[in-house]
Structure 1
Amino acid sequence: MRSHSASTTASDNAESNVAVSRKTTPKPVTTHHGNSPDCPDQDCIALFVNGDLLFHEGLWEHFQNNPSATDGTAFNFDPLFANMKPYIQRSDISVCEFETPIAPRGGPYSAYPIFNIPPEVADAAAHVGYNACTHGTNHSWDQGSAGIARLWDTLAADGIAQTGSYKTEEDSKKPLVINSPTGGGKLGLITGTVSLNGMTADHDWQVDRLREAGDPNHESDIQKAVAKAKAARQQGADVVAIAMHSVQEYLTKADSWQISEAHELADTGAFDVIYGAGCHCAQPIEKYHNTWIVYGLGNAVTVTSYIPGNEVNNQGVSARIQFAGKRGKPGTWRVNRIDWVPTANMQQGQYRWCPISGDHPDGYCWSQQTDTQQEQRINTIIYSLGADSNVVHEWRLSDEQQQSPQKQPQPQQQTQQKK
């Protein structure tokens, strides 16, 4: 009996230990570190942003095939964007700033002051890998409701998510929430412009606004942006970014509206990062309380300005903002790094997006001397408000490749295949 009892007890204990072991063995944690070279937490989202897509006739005429063609072949802007691709591939979500409305395919086209640019720009944005575009700008109403509808429909057909100006009031109330293609989490994206260049939309909902203090609509604009941010989080957004479109041009310092508006937005606690365009120049990066603000990204692509004092129009900044945290767990997320690269609008006499840092294979953007001068100038501007260089780094792909030679960029996924 003792033998049977002892045997039974040993067997029971063994089964009990197995059961306990089964209950206490933790499941392996699935991580989603994305395309950035490091991630200090379980999940990361690397957001790539840059300045305005600003097209004048002097730019688009260099890429025309048959301007009157209506089948999407009137222009080919792919070469203009091509150098951007490796930077987008080392990010997770890439967002453009679409400064202006677009014309019908085949034209007619127009430039400053009332823009109506070739729609093939949107096609090229899709080809290079942008996941989304914002288009709440001072030029959003240049072509009225028809221009907004054309841009919306063309970006949608190209598989690009969007926010900023709207065909319907229902669309205007929906926050844009983007799943990271690399699995790190969800990004909410909000935008707003301070100005419509003195014009007034037929309905206030047609363009997202962030009017200045003193304007009777200022407080309601802030409240709408915050409400959209909250709605985005209710729909699962782990982080929320807001893009501000300013109107004071060619300033190396943030203007009074940019500072007051960004600080007011940051004080709401609704946004994880704030970034801006519209000034057509590179501006500082600031950490205000616990919120990072990238005031001005300049132009991503644009025609060369030869007007004295406006040379800053010919440069920009592209930034990769990395958020780290745990997917689906509010309160765990923060900005842990911002990588920035100064850019030129030309490469060796041709219109091309060109990283001034020298990572491209075809030599300097302008010349060694000019590139060095502009890189140093933009570097000084970026850190002029005390941005921590342990978080804010100049982005060099060559250094990144040496640090993590085994890591290959994960493929970008579009929300819809181009038709």
Structure 2
Amino acid sequence: MKKRVFILGLLAALFCLGGCEKEAEYTASAGASSPVVKEVTMAVVGDIMVHDYQYNEAYDAATDTYNFMHNFQDVKRFFEGYDFVIGNLELTFGGTDRPYSSYPCFNTPDSFLDAVKDAGFNLLTTANNHSMDTGAQGVLRTLSLLDEYGIDHVGTYASQEERDQIYTKEVNGITFAFVSATYGTNGIPVPEDYLVNRLEDPQFLADISRAQEMADIVVVMPHMGNEYETYPRDVFVEWADKMFEAGADIVLASHPHVLQPMEYRQVDHGDGVHDGFIIYSLGNFISSQTTPPRNASIVLHITVEQTADYTPNVKEVSFVPIWTQFRNAANEDHFMVRSVYEMITLPESERYDVVRPKDYQRLLEIHEETACFLLDRDIPLEEIQEEYVFPKP
């Protein structure tokens, strides 16, 4: 598709096929001259998990229900207006036939999806090492519930027919394809191959190549890496290289539960050299893993553009440092994802009405573990920002 669109773009430039009337913005980068005719934005987060601390806090004994709606109220503004809001759903909805549980096998109350939907998520990867935590029926029930909530999903499937279909979506005139797979399922057998995509299955790279023929931009979401390590090992860099070679434009990885570096990649899939992007681990979005650095993460923003010559490109990447608050100022369990900037810049007169003193000190560390780490430079607190642009080399 990319080659066909590229040729059509050249024809359109020659004959002005439908392009003369288009309104066009112009890139703000220095020296840019091609009008931007299409643009798509993505907001991406890492692991979405619910441990027992979280569902115990959400439980209302009076009604025998669970309410998670407060979890994302402070950060859902970072999702508003984005074309894709993406996360890694690292849990299952196995239902009430079995007890709710967390590690090592996650079975989460269905009402957690109320908070996920309210936050604005519209696409989740479901391929991870916890996909099979409640068995094959848990995989199927999770997918059915996501469908009921109108949330798209990739990585686990209810049938071979569904697994063989590459998920594509056209947004603002740009066609995206999403492919997802996991390194494994914690040793839990997968009775049908189609249930869970796996990285070592030759079909995974073949799917990326198929997706490249079907879409302008291919986004791959692998579940890989070593837990709690802040830099990817060579084997995972090599895996990423294979994904780009197969046709990936953007790679959004997860599993380590901590942030790992990100970088731009120069890619060419027959449509001209353009900027791709990878982040080796997005860390935790929400969980009960509150020990450093597992409670530090980001909301990643990616802007993809397609110019008049029809070459797709990662135009800009930026990120918002976030923190999962475990306890409120009264030292009560209260899980909320917070903006690091907002918490650090609270007036001193209000600060300890919101966070505990030791959590404020932790926030100062998270500033180092997110902004300074990802940008690879010191950022004095006087220069702290809510969102940082990741510069191109």
TM-score, with length taken from structure 2: 0.78
Indicate yes or no: 2:234 matched with 1:256. Answer: yes
* Among 118, 123, 128, the residue aligned to 1:127: 118
Offset of residue 279 of structure 1: 0.7
Please give the alpha-carbon distance, in whole angstroms, between the structure 2 residues aligned to 1:24 and 1:304.
54
Which position in structure 1 is the counterpart of 2:154? Answer: 163
SS at match of 2:95: coil
SS at match of 2:153: strand
Indicate yes or no: 2:346 matched with 1:356. Answer: no
Q: How many residue pairs align between the two structures?
A: 341
Quick check: 1:75–1:118 contact (8 Å CA) kept in 2? yes
Residue by residue over 1:141-172, the C-alpha shift from the partner in whole angstroms, topping out at 9 and shown as x without a partner, is 11121111111011111111111111111111
SS at match of 2:143: helix
Indicate yes or no: 2:168 matched with 1:177. Answer: yes
Quick check: 1:344–1:365 contact (8 Å CA) kept in 2? no
Residue by residue over 1:287-309, the C-alpha shift from the partner in whole angstroms, topping out at 9 and shown as x without a partner, is 23433111111111011434xxx
* Among 331, 338, 342, the residue aligned to 2:317: 338
Please give the alpha-carbon distance, in whole angstroms, between the structure 1 residues aligned to 2:18 and 2:135.
61
Which position in structure 2 is the counterpart of 1:8? Answer: none
* Among 94, 99, 103, the residue aligned to 1:112: 103
Residue by residue over 1:58-103, the C-alpha shift from the partner in whole angstroms, topping out at 9 and shown as x without a partner, is 111111125995xxxx211111011221110142210121011113
Residue by residue over 1:300-329, the C-alpha shift from the partner in whole angstroms, topping out at 9 and shown as x without a partner, is 1011434xxxx22212221011101159x7
Please give the alpha-carbon distance, in whole angstroms, between the structure 2 residues aligned to 1:117 and 1:67.
20
Offset of residue 266 of structure 1: 1.0
Could you say which structure has the larger radius of gyration? Answer: 1
Please give the alpha-carbon distance, in whole angstroms, between the structure 2 residues aligned to 1:338 and 1:172.
30
Quick check: 1:281–1:297 contact (8 Å CA) kept in 2? yes
Which position in structure 1 is the counterpart of 2:178? Answer: 189
SS at match of 1:346: strand
Indicate yes or no: 2:201 matched with 1:201. Answer: no
SS at match of 1:313: coil
Quick check: 1:278–1:298 contact (8 Å CA) kept in 2? yes
* Among 214, 217, 220, the residue aligned to 1:242: 220
Please give the alpha-carbon distance, in whole angstroms, between the structure 2 residues aligned to 1:383 and 1:68.
47
Query: How do 1:31-110 residues align onto structure 2 when only pairs under 5 Å count?
Result: 41-66=36-61, 74-104=65-95, 108-110=99-101
SS at match of 1:103: coil
SS at match of 2:315: strand
Residue by residue over 1:204-259, the C-alpha shift from the partner in whole angstroms, topping out at 9 and shown as x without a partner, is 22111113xxxxx4x443223332x13xx53xx33221111125211111133321
Indicate yes or no: 2:285 matched with 1:300. Answer: yes
Please give the alpha-carbon distance, in whole angstroms, between the structure 1 residues aligned to 2:175 and 2:18.
29
* Among 8, 22, 33, the residue aligned to 1:29: 22
Please give the alpha-carbon distance, in whole angstroms, between the structure 2 residues aligned to 1:106 and 1:30.
56
Query: How do 1:399-414 residues align onto structure 2 when only pairs under 5 Å count?
Result: none
Which position in structure 1 is the counterpart of 2:6? Answer: none
Residue by residue over 1:254-296, the C-alpha shift from the partner in whole angstroms, topping out at 9 and shown as x without a partner, is 133321111111122x121101111100110122343311111
Offset of residue 378 of structure 1: 2.0
* Among 201, 205, 209, the residue aligned to 1:222: 205
SS at match of 1:358: helix
CA RMSD of aligned residues (A): 3.1
Amino acid at match of 2:39: C
Please give the alpha-carbon distance, in whole angstroms, between the structure 2 residues aligned to 1:67 and 1:137.
35
Flag structure 1 segments of 5+ consecutive residues without an equivalent.
Answer: 1-22, 34-38, 212-216, 387-393, 401-419
Please give the alpha-carbon distance, in whole angstroms, between the structure 2 residues aligned to 1:62 and 1:163.
30
With over 3 angstroms needed to count, the CA separation of the structure-2 counterparts of 1:188 and 1:224, relative to structure 1, is closer
Indicate yes or no: 2:283 matched with 1:280. Answer: no
Flag structure 2 segments of 5+ consecutive residues without an equivalent.
Answer: 1-15, 27-33, 268-275, 329-333, 378-383
SS at match of 2:86: strand
SS at match of 1:396: coil
Please give the alpha-carbon distance, in whole angstroms, between the structure 2 residues aligned to 1:226 and 1:66.
51
More strand by share: 2
TM-score, with length taken from structure 1: 0.73
With over 3 angstroms needed to count, the CA separation of the structure-2 counterparts of 1:239 and 1:395, relative to structure 1, is farther
Offset of residue 190 of structure 1: 1.1
Amino acid at match of 2:280: Y
Indicate yes or no: 2:370 matched with 1:378. Answer: yes
Please give the alpha-carbon distance, in whole angstroms, between the structure 2 residues aligned to 1:24 and 1:252.
49
Amino acid at match of 1:94: V
Residue by residue over 1:325-358, the C-alpha shift from the partner in whole angstroms, topping out at 9 and shown as x without a partner, is 159x7x5110011111121110762310112122
Which position in structure 2 is the counterpart of 1:408? Answer: none
Offset of residue 372 of structure 1: 2.3
SS at match of 1:250: coil
Amino acid at match of 1:300: F
Please give the alpha-carbon distance, in whole angstroms, between the structure 1 residues aligned to 2:361 and 2:252.
30
Quick check: 1:145–1:167 contact (8 Å CA) kept in 2? no
